[in-house]
Structure 1
């Protein structure tokens, strides 16, 4: 099956919209909305090469300490390979911890998506902390 340029553009837009929905749901800690974006068989791979399932992923989002002030994605790119989509980018979250301290967490992510029943679902999410900015010598 050949995907036309128009179809590919629509898929890219759909994947970018999916990423925006994920960011909004994380900022709101809306695990129900997140569950509607992630495949039931989601695999999340994070720090230390630990893999978790959808239930643990949603529990981790709900358990983020403090107040999420903002969650943004940057330099997001979407690629389509038939019924597989790949989103890559950087996520920046500002959090006010219970003691009032504000911190910024920056991580690089890759979300692998699969078209199932006519819509895109995240099937594998991989996220790692960004290295600290280098200081000039």
Structure 2
């Protein structure tokens, strides 16, 4: 039986990145922005001029984490604390799991079809920029 899997197209990812760039500019912030597709693989990425070098891998891993666990990365934070259900989860998947804000799953008809990750600002700024980008998928 054949099944069609919805995913984010490159044109969708580029629109999400453009919206995120606009939100970053409004905050006078340089950041890295990554979008993964329904398989969790990188579809599109940009590191703005002046963005911290370390923000590149974090943006990609935030998108990876949001997709993998079908949750915003900041939602995993409380669950990853000592004594909590998912304590130590950030050490799984080769250390790629990020448990602070900036990664948001992209959903279509109730299913996660990709994710966006942003890094370069405070946690609140990364979340706001990712939310602006994810709104382009609606």
Same fold (TM over 0.5): no
- Normalized per residue, which structure has more strand? 1
Could you state the TM-score of these two structures normalised by the residue count of structure 2? 0.25
- Normalized per residue, which structure has more helix? 2
Structure with the larger RCO, 1 or 2 (CA within 8 Å, 6+ apart)? 2
Could you state the TM-score of these two structures normalised by the residue count of structure 1? 0.25
Larger-Rg structure: 1
